[in-house]
Amino acid sequence: MPAVTITSYNPADPDDLVVAVEEPGAEAVRAAVGRARAAQGDWLAAGAAARSAALGRMADAVEAHAPELAALIVREVGKPQAEAAGEVARTAAIWRYYAQAPYAPSGAVHETAAGPGLLFTRRRPYGVAGLIAPWNFPLAIPGWKAAPALAVGNAVVLKPAPEATACALRLAELAASAGLPEDVFTVLPGGATEGAALVDTADVVSFTGSTGVGRAVVRAATERGVPVQAELGGLNAALVLPDADIEPAAGHLAAAIAGYAGQKCTATSRVIAVGAAYEPLREALVKALAAVDDTVCGPVINAGARDRLTGAVSSAVEAGAVVLAGGRVPDRAGWYVEPTLLTDVPAEHPLASEEFFGPIAVLHAAADLDEAIALANDTPHSLSTSVHTRSLDVALAAADRLDAGMVRVNAPSSGVDFHLPFGGTKGAGHGDREQGQAALDFYTVSRTVSVLPGGAA
Ligand code: NAD
């Protein structure tokens, strides 16, 4: 059979081939997992100081190559420069944050029910963590999966998205230069074949990507009885109350709709204006979206994504939707779509109910807060919801009653703090949270140990 080649092109310049590598195939994945399993014992036995130092050196390496890495992110996945630089800085911070984790307590001591002895719990790594990543945060997501998994003593096999192959291979080079043994941190490029093989062989699986693929990954890992977490797509809402400061709220919404061309799982795709907020918000948001330029939006990842987005807008318009802003493909090279705001999208149209992963949002009107919350909750894809208001009562009600995994008051729905748990509710996520302490818990299993005096009856 001829070898399959993975190619990754520059979304702003489709003639620019960033990388082409041969697909390694399922057997290569199994072999890599085998080598990782053999190397994991020494990595764990090396101790907290050695693991902490290696993770710290990885943070240093990312920082030392920051401009080059940001340029590679811009070139390979089309992220605007400022966001790419921000992602690199965050990646270094994530590795540095988890570099402290090897020293953290790994269990708790308990009293015996009766008599002498020692009861304690101890969290232990699973072995090989199989990490499957999307392309949209090509350094940060591999980092927030790999760093905690390694900190607690797992070996890691990372399968990046094909569209982010060059970024992942560069990360592997930096890891080697930071002294992370190759079999402890392996990057294996590939697509569905390699991803499925990894799910079939790893001891713990962490997946981030689209809902359909994620559900199959969860099923396969669960069938094998290995722990799995899946962070999936979102259909994120922004609620704007009449008491909000409309101009700054519109600025936040434009950033959350069109920032990195809406290709964030936390991007806003539904704007819900409550009561009297509707008219002023519509006007301010149309203006704010028109002001968005390449430094904020950028291209979408490939021609297929662009055609899917423009096709969805056309079919929504045919079904009665009204375009308030954007809606066209600019006449230029690269896979660009204008930041777009629609209204009157029929409820049964896919744009109203599915994640499209582009700079497109639908504007809805709600009579009051109750209706807005009901609308926001009327989706299985509940990842992040923003609420724009000056009222503490509304903010508290939203934090109580919104289904989302993240509620952000007077901030864009997109935005993540790496030291807090991260993930969606309902269909937007499965299993334990990522990031913060939650990730360290996910990559370990608790063992209960009872130590009684020798010779006790
Ligand atoms: P995708 O689902 O197409 O691919 C994700 C990864 O899964 C890739 O590495 C891909 O090669 C791999 N894969 C594909 N088929 C597989 C299979 N059968 N078995 C195992 N692995 C397989 O997603 P994408 O296009 O790379 O990324 C965009 C999606 O990711 C969006 O839906 C976005 O919302 C989601 N995302 C979610 C989060 C989150 O934390 N919730 C963060 C970023 C992106």
With a cut of 90, say whether residue 451 has pLDDT above it.
Answer: yes
> pLDDT tens digits, residue range 167-195?
999 999 999 999 999 899 999 999 999 99
> pLDDT tens digits, residue range 294-308?
999 999 999 999 999
> pLDDT tens digits, residue range 308-360?
999 999 999 999 999 999 999 998 999 999 999 999 999 999 999 999 999 99
DSSP-H helix ranges across 259-302: 278-290
pLDDT band at 198 (very low <50, low <70, confident <90, very high): very high
Question: Nearest Cα to 206, choosing from 258, 145, 267?
Answer: 145
Q: Per-residue pLDDT averaged across 273-291, rounded?
A: 98
What's residue 457's pLDDT?
63
pLDDT band at 456 (very low <50, low <70, confident <90, very high): low
For ligand 1, mutation pick of 94, 232, 236 (most atoms within 8 Å of CB)? 232
What's residue 455's pLDDT?
82
* CB burial of residue 11 (10 Å; 0-12, 13-18, 19+): buried
Q: Per-residue pLDDT averaged across 114-143, rounded?
A: 98
What's residue 2's pLDDT?
57
What's residue 143's pLDDT?
98
Share of the chain above pLDDT 70, in %: 99
Q: Per-residue pLDDT averaged across 21-40, rounded?
A: 97
pLDDT band at 3 (very low <50, low <70, confident <90, very high): confident
Averaged confidence pLDDT in the chain: 96
With a cut of 90, say whether residue 44 has pLDDT above it.
Answer: yes
Give the three-class secondary structure for 222. helix
With a cut of 60, say whether residue 277 has pLDDT above it.
Answer: yes
Which tokens sit at 167? Answer: 């970024």
Alpha-carbon span 237 to 68, nearest angstrom? 35
Question: Which residue owns the Cα nearest ligand 1 atom 20?
Answer: 195
CA distances from 65 to 58, 96, 174, 259, 401 (A): 11, 15, 9, 24, 44
Which tokens sit at 249? Answer: 């709220």
What's residue 78's pLDDT?
98
Which tokens sit at 349? Answer: 């149209």
Give the three-class secondary structure for 30. helix
* CB burial of residue 331 (10 Å; 0-12, 13-18, 19+): exposed
What number of CA atoms fall less than 13 Å from residue 148's CA on the CB side? 23
What's residue 442's pLDDT?
98
Which tokens sit at 45? Answer: 């036995």
pLDDT band at 254 (very low <50, low <70, confident <90, very high): very high
Q: Per-residue pLDDT averaged across 73-94, rounded?
A: 98
Question: Which residues have any ligand 1 atom within 6 Å of their CB?
Answer: 132-136, 159-162, 191-192, 195-196, 199, 208-210, 213, 216-217, 231-234, 265, 355, 357, 383, 424
What's residue 1's pLDDT?
56
> pLDDT tens digits, residue range 348-386?
999 999 999 999 999 999 999 999 999 999 999 999 999
What's residue 286's pLDDT?
98
Distance 401 CA to ligand 1 centre (A): 29
pLDDT band at 392 (very low <50, low <70, confident <90, very high): very high
**Which candidate in 83, 87, 231, 355 is catalytic?**
231
**Which candidate in 265, 338, 355, 434 is catalytic?**
265
Ligand 1 atom with least separation from CA of 159 = 9
**pTM of this prediction?**
0.97
